[in-house]
Amino acid sequence: MFVVSIAGSPSVRSRSGVLLDRARRWLNGRGVEVASYQLRDFPAEDLLYARFDSPRILDLVEQVSRADGLVIATPVYKASIAGALKVLLDLLPERALNHKVVLPLATGGSNAHMLAVDYALKPVLGALKAQEVLHGVFAEDQQIAYASGDSPERLDEALERRLLDSLEHFHGALARRHRPHDRNLLATARWSV
């Protein structure tokens, strides 16, 4: 299985990035290959001037076309997703997420921003024809502690459980895509009318 992760925060240190790193490590631990992208990987001029032919954009498009799923993380600013993330998603082809499973992750200052994923991100993912957009995870900033000194980053216990549940669901959705279809199933099935 192959997944693309996109970190939607323009900041070097971000709580949504912490969630995405946790997701990547969890998926790697289950044998899922993850290609990771951050907004900072893309030249600002390519995003601002919608350079569809940018080598970095073309690389992302190629990786997304190969992927079984995507994990997208964004901070919520002013009740919406990061603007630069929206610009990046606008550079993907119209049907880029066709046959893909998507797990959205978001962070914000308070749970008042929880619906930003439903109202700002999911419509964009739908426009890109995502096959299945999972419920995802919203975390309040206070639920995530950055790494400091010898201490690794830390998630609130309830958030950790929600993230693990969402990742299990995502992994199951990816696995369903890889389950071989039994061509003899119809021949051996018993039918009643």
Q: Is the pLDDT of residue 119 over 80?
A: yes
pLDDT at 12 over 70: yes
CATH of 2-188, one of 3.90.1170.10, 3.50.30.10, 3.40.50.360, 2.40.340.10: 3.40.50.360
188 and 116 Cβ atoms separated by less than 8 Å: no
Q: For 103-120, what is the mean pLDDT? A: 84
CB 173, CB 134: distance < 8 Å: yes
> pLDDT tens digits for 53-77?
999 999 999 999 999 999 999 999 8
Dihedral, CA atoms, 35, 36, 40, 44, nearest 10 degrees?
Answer: 40
Whether 7 shows a pLDDT value over 90: the answer reads yes
Task: Take residue 75 and report the two structure tokens written for it.
Answer: 């901070």
Distance CA 190, CA 49 (A): 59
> Measured in Å, how far apart are the chain's first and last C-alpha atoms?
39
* Distance from C-alpha of 39 to C-alpha of 42, rounded to nearest angstrom: 6
Among residues of the chain, what percentage have pLDDT more than 70? 92
**Predicted confidence band of residue 189 (pLDDT cuts 50, 70, 90):** low
Helices (H) and strands (E) in the chain, counts: 8, 9
**106: number of Cβ within 10 Å:** 26
| 107 pLDDT higher than 70 | yes
Distance of CA 131 to the CA centre of its chain: 13
Q: What per-residue confidence (pLDDT) applies to 114?
A: 75
